[in-house]
Amino acid sequence: MQNYIPNTQKQKNNFFELLYTNGNLRIGKLRNSIGQELLTPAFIPVATNASIRALDSIKVKELGINGIFVNTYHMHLTPGEDIVEELGGLHKFMNYDGLIFTDSGGFQAFSLGQAITDGVGKIVSIFSKEGRKKQTKQEKLAEVTDEYIVFKSHIDGRILKLTPENSILIQHKLGSDILMVLDECTSPLASYEYTKLSMERSLKWALRCLDFFKQHNKGNQYLYGIIQGGYHYDLRIKSAEFICSLDFDGIAIGGSLGTSKDNIAEILSWIIGYIPQEKPRHLLGIGSIPEIFTAIENGIDTFDCVIPTRYARTGTVFVNEPPNFIRDITAKYYKNLESRKYDFPIEQDCDCYTCKNYTVAYLNHLFYVGEISVMTLLTIHNLNFYNKLLNRIRQAILENKYFEFKKHFFQK
């Protein structure tokens, strides 16, 4: 059943407009205080240090990317939120006027922070590189109490303390458009008991973040609450009920989402009905091609991920070849010497700068000899692939042909 949303359901300050819905499929528009707009569903590339790696902000805008995700933890360490604020905030600092999302810093506190001391109480140790390794005493990363997360800088060993209030203050000073509440991102390996305790703590932090945000916001920033609870039905429901009852501008879904896109779909199906229709929904850390479809058809508006940019830097490009849609041009180089002579672009019908100007043979060569320009060229192709896909998905939703499009896309 198609449904045009009347203007009365627009959010305050015109931050988010829901333009069209059809079941869980949604078309919306996010707008920042500068007046820049982002059509949703949208993929939000990660710009960890206020830069999408290998691209400058002008290139990012030229690619039509109107939303990026900056990591608060990294910006807090270097150059520091006070310097960014003095220089006019992130938009001015990086010369980018699109929508800037920041996280709370909590995730990196866990994933990058190092052990303070052995034997401190209430220590959690979670993310190995793959986020899967068993906990051991040597991997203790940060101390979490009901009041704060304490961790050691991965850059200079400084001890840093993150409270709900100073996470919001840092993001406030950075001047991002969309801020996230501080939460504890628990490991997929965490027990039910720990996930429950952690989720309940995150709810208290969400309240403190919201209070502090309301005191400091000048009307040009928007705060998202985060639904936690891992892969546990009752915990997700409790978190969703509480977070969605508060006056957040948008709702994010974080934490462990299970191990497959089916798990993601299941978790989203539990909670999506709790989120008010008129609020934008962000899924944290999701971004493979199948996951994007899963997120969109379960009512998600935006999602961030390092996949297309990180893959580019390791020589993996996105192509219209299901089921994985990726091709490793470096492996091809080693396995098939003929590919050194491939006198054609990554994709014949791709309209990106890289495919219009360079051949696979040349890109292979650049990668092999370690020329850094190849990082830029492959990143451009991959982000253009994602952008084109999201454009086509939005078009298909509007034409009521989403599932037809999806079937065709995966059968190609």
Binding site for Zn ion (CB under 5 A): 350, 352, 354-355, 381
Exactly one of 177, 249, 301, 304 is catalytic; name it.
Answer: 304
Measured from the CB of residue 295, what is the shortest distance to Zn ion in angstroms?
24
Kind of pairing between the strands at 149-152 and 159-162: antiparallel
Please report how many Cα atoms fall inside a 13 Å half-sphere around the Cα of residue 31, on the Cβ side: 16
Which CB, 10 or 313, lies closer to Zn ion?
313
Which CB, 275 or 377, lies closer to Zn ion?
377
**23-44 burial: b if 16+ Cβ within 10 Å, else e:** eebbbbbbbbbeebbbbbbbbb
Annotation says 304 is catalytic: yes
Measured from the CB of residue 277, what is the shortest distance to Zn ion in angstroms?
36
Measured from the CB of residue 67, what is the shortest distance to Zn ion in angstroms?
21
**With contact defined as beta carbons under 8 Å apart, do 96 and 71 qualify?**
no
Kind of pairing between the strands at 302-305 and 42-45: parallel
DSSP H helix total and E strand total for the chain? 16, 18
Which CB, 266 or 328, lies closer to Zn ion?
328
Find where tokens 């059968």 sit: 411
**Rounded to 10 degrees, what is the CA torsion of 2, 287, 42, 45?**
180
Those residues whose C-beta lies under 8 Å from the C-beta of residue 30, and which sit 6 or more positions away, are 15, 16, 37, 38, 40, 42, 67, 99, 178, 280, 301, 302
Measured from the CB of residue 293, what is the shortest distance to Zn ion in angstroms?
21
Which CB, 21 or 354, lies closer to Zn ion?
354
Measured from the CB of residue 389, what is the shortest distance to Zn ion in angstroms?
12
Label residue 131 left, alpha or beta by phi (over 0 means left) and psi (-120 to 50 means alpha). left
Exactly one of 103, 177, 183, 249 is catalytic; name it.
Answer: 103
Among residues 373, 327, 325, 335, which one has the least CA distance to residue 353? Answer: 373
Among residues 324, 19, 194, which one has the least CA distance to residue 28? Answer: 19
Which CB, 47 or 355, lies closer to Zn ion?
355
| Phi–psi pair at 21, nearest 5 degrees | -135, 150
DSSP tag of 285: T
Measured from the CB of residue 369, what is the shortest distance to Zn ion in angstroms?
21
**With contact defined as beta carbons under 8 Å apart, do 316 and 329 qualify?**
yes
Measured from the CB of residue 101, what is the shortest distance to Zn ion in angstroms?
26
Which CB, 261 or 381, lies closer to Zn ion?
381
At 125, list the tokens.
């140790």
Burial label, 296 (beta-carbon count in 10 A; 0-12, 13-18, 19+): buried
Q: Which residues are catalytic?
A: 103, 304
